[in-house]
Amino acid sequence: MAQARNATGAQATSAEPTLRVAAVQMVSAVNVSDNLARAEELIGEAAAAGARLVALPEHFALLGRSDRDKLSIREPDGAGPLQAFLSGQAAAHGIWLVGGTLPLASPNPGKVLNSSLVYGPDGRRVARYDKIHLFGFEHGSERFDEAATIAPGRTPAVFDLEAAPQGGAPAAAWRIGLSVCYDLRFPELYRVLAPVDLLLAPSAFTFTTGSAHWEVLLRARAIENQCYLLAPAQGGQHENGRRTWGHSMLVDPWGEIVAQREPDGEGIVVGDVARARLRQVRAGLPALSHRVM
C-alpha cells in the first residue's frame, strides 16, 4: 500500500483511512460480448488486487465501426444487459463499480446519452452522470463530432462512498465527483463538484489530443481542486481503426502521479486515496478556502 506524502513530498504515516482504487484500461472493439468478457476479467483482477472502487473507461462496451453503432445498444434507464452486467459485477466482487460510460436512451430518438453509472457493493445503482461536454475535433483526416449521436447531459453529479473500518483506521465516507473525458477541458464543472476527495474521469482520448494534453489536464484538475483524480482510459489501436492514448492513471492532490499504465493495451492501474494526504495538502496550501469567486 502506498504511503501518503506531505506537500513537500516527504513520507507521512497516519492511521487515517485509505481507499484502494483501480482504473481499468481497455481497447474496446466492435463486439459487445467480447468487450464485456474482457471487462469482467479486468474487474476481477482489480478486485483481487484489493480495490474497493473499480472504474471502467468511456465506451467500455463498444467502440463501433460507426458512431451510430451505439444507437443499436442503447438501453432505457434502469434496465438492459449492460446495466445488469455492471450491477452483477459490483455485487459479485463486493465493490463499488463505475461503469465508464454506456449509451442510455434520450428524448431524441436519433441520439443517446453517454452515461456514467455507479453501482454499490450490493449491486444497487447509487449515481448517474450524463456527459455534459461533447467532443468536437478536426485535425487533418481526423474528425469527431459527438453531438451528432449524443445528447448532452445537464446536471453535475457526486456520490458518497461509505467504507468500513480497516486496520486501525475508522469507517470513512469519501465524496466522489463524476466527469467524462472531454469534460476535463472545462474546469468550471469541477469547481461545481468541489470539494471532493476523488474525481473520476473515464475517457477515450484520441492519440493526437492525448499525447498533447492528457497528463497536463489530469494533473491540473487534481491540483486546482486539491483532490485525487482517477482516469481509466481506452488505450491502443482499435478494430474500427481508431487509436486512443491510454495512460490510465491516478493523480494525487499535489499533482503527483501515484500510478500509471504507460504502454498501450489492456490492464489495470491500482493505487490508494489517502485521507492523510488530502489533509496535508489542503492544510499546507489552503487554496479551496481562499476562493473568492
Query: Which member of 70, 111, 146, 181 is catalytic?
Result: 181
Q: Which helix (H) or strand (E) holds 265?
A: none
Indicate the pairing of strand 102-105 with strand 53-55.
unpaired
C-alpha cell recorded at residue 225: 481542486
> What separation, in Å, do the N-terminal and C-terminal C-alpha atoms of the chain show?
38
Query: Which member of 58, 146, 215, 266 is catalytic?
Result: 58
Query: Which member of 70, 111, 131, 215 is catalytic?
Result: 131
Q: With CA atoms as reference, report the closest residue to 70 among 99, 37, 27, 113.
A: 113
Neighbours of 158 (CB within 10 A): 16
Grid look-up 444497487 returns 124
Q: With CA atoms as reference, report the closest residue to 223 among 251, 195, 192, 263.
A: 251
Is residue 111 part of the annotated active site? The answer reads no
Q: Give me the numbers of helices (H) and strands (E) for the chain, helices first please.
A: 6, 20
Is residue 70 part of the annotated active site? The answer reads no
**Is the C-alpha dihedral spanning 277, 281, 284, 286 positive or negative?**
negative
User: Do 171 and 19 contact (CB within 8 A), yes or no?
Assistant: no
Grid look-up 481542486 returns 225
Is residue 40 part of the annotated active site? The answer reads no
- Complete DSSP assignment for 81-110: HHHHHHHHHHHHHT-EEE---EEEE-SSTT
Q: Using CB atoms within 10 Å of the CB of residue 214, give its burial: 0 to 12 exposed, 13 to 18 middle, 19+ buried.
A: buried
Which residues, including other chains, have CB under 8 Å from residue 21's CB and lie 6 or more apart?
A: 51, 52, 53, 54, 55, 198, 228, 230, 250, 270, 271, 272, 273
Annotated active-site positions, please? 58, 131, 181
